[in-house]
Amino acid sequence: MQRIRNSAFLGSVHSRFDRTVNVQCTENGELYTIAACTIDNGPNTIVIRAGRLSGLGIATGDRVYADRAMLYVERKLAVSIADAAAWKSALPNYPLDDRRLRRNLIAAKAFVELEGKNGGMKRAAARDNLFDAEVSKRLEERSSSLLFALSKGDTAGARDHALTLIGLGPGLTPSGDDYLLGLFTIVNLPNSPLRRYRPLCADIANEAAGLTNPISHMGLIKAAAGQVRESVVELLRSLTDGDPEQAIRCLKAVLNIGSSSGTDIAMGLIHGLELIAQHRWR
């Protein structure tokens, strides 16, 4: 927002979808997102009033620039930030007394089992699609190995197992990436016993550059620094401070992310919280 106000933002359209346009900044190479109003707040994202962005003729490579608090995509879209409110990802503390969290976690896990999307981290039935079932099996095996390594304090092993997840699975942001995004978020919770693994998350995210697509890679970079979408933050707040009904309501919003991305992220969050609760590291 400061770059736009100072007429200092310059970039080009990296990719475009029905409700989002991703812009790559010339200065730092990061991806920024112009999102329709049906998308929640997130890192490097400006949410505009439009319901969708398709039909504007925006194309990959279009020039994006700022001029006096306005962001332009060629002559196809002009966005004013004059009345925009800043949003930051502020994760809740891992509670000193986690009994409420444990109860909410049981409800959330059961809901994902019932309503989560199959085929990614949630295993698909072999009778439905053999390929999907095999991918899910590998995701489950590799994520279990990662969690075991973390529980034993095996940083090198955790790194190796995490890297085998990157780029694995269906979706624009592969399931393994989305799972790691959820797990990285738990590592970054204030007071989390897993916070000692924050440098490991950053290393894994940096190494992901050549293993997955730029959109997914940027999500991992941000999650490794504790920056995630508002719906994920609200889910964590409801798990730590709310009741099961609130947790399920917020979980539904996360499960609606993408095709299987929401389920994969939710499973990363749940497994990370379970890892803390089960091992009582504090």
Residue numbers of the chain with a pLDDT score lower than 70: 124-128, 280-282
pLDDT of residue 282: 47
Of 47, 80, 113, which residue sits at a domain end? Answer: 80
Domain for residue 93, yes or no? no
In three-state secondary structure terms, 32 is strand
In the chain, the number of structural domains is: 2
**11 is written with which tokens?**
């970039």
Neighbours of 81 (CB within 10 A): 17
pLDDT of residue 130: 80
Alpha helices in 152-213 (DSSP H): 155-165, 175-187, 198-207
Domain for residue 43, yes or no? yes
Are residues 145 and 44 both part of a single domain? no
Please say whether the beta carbons of 76 and 56 come within 8 A: yes
How open is the CA angle 50-254-107, to the nearest 5 degrees? Answer: 150
Separation CA 172–CA 151 (nearest Å): 30
* Domain encompassing residue 182: 99-279
Of 33, 48, 80, which residue sits at a domain end? Answer: 80
Residues, the chain: 282
Here the CATH number for the domain that contains residue 8 is 2.40.50
**Backbone phi, then psi, for 210, in 5-degree steps?**
-95, 5
Separation CA 158–CA 217 (nearest Å): 18
Are residues 108 and 172 both part of a single domain? yes
Domain for residue 221, yes or no? yes
Are residues 138 and 265 both part of a single domain? yes
**22 is written with which tokens?**
């991703």
Domain for residue 89, yes or no? no
pLDDT of residue 244: 96
Cα 240 to chain centroid distance, Å, stands at: 19
**78 is written with which tokens?**
């002009």
